[in-house]
Chain A
């Protein structure tokens, strides 16, 4: 096996590892919000690694372009997806883990109009 193939393998396993991490995280974390942390970050990294592996393996423009496409796409979409989901979840009052310490968002949603208030001036203890 050539160095390139070794690199490909390494990247694949690197990616796979993080995919696994995300999946474990999905199951180990206590509430939705903490679960989403793993989902957002680790899978993006995992995909990136695997796509890089593919690009390296084929090493032609078609593969590279596709890999870049996927990576960029994931970088752009993963946060957005997480964001819309988390927002929807909070809005629907998906329960937080009881160990959650601070919740400055609590009670700021107007459920009818979907308006979210800003943080009030008095709340800001530090600029």
Chain B
């Protein structure tokens, strides 16, 4: 299954990459979100996929094997961080569009010239 998920991760990155290379602000944002998904899923894939073994230790001590809890904790942190960043970016995109008046990224070039 790791192989399959690796392909999924790759696809997420590929589509994300394609989208962030578009000229539209909206697609850019979507691409960033897809890449964030890809990154999280990648971490998850690496954690060693185990079915039905959530890292919850019952009062009786529980099973012998659990899913690796650390990557899960990392993803959890990354999820929230990623969300915060995305939320900010969305607001920024909204404001930028409002002030600049276009969502065509090729026209957002005044600061570089």
* A and B directly contacting (CB within 8 A): no
Interface on B for A, CB 8 Å cutoff? none
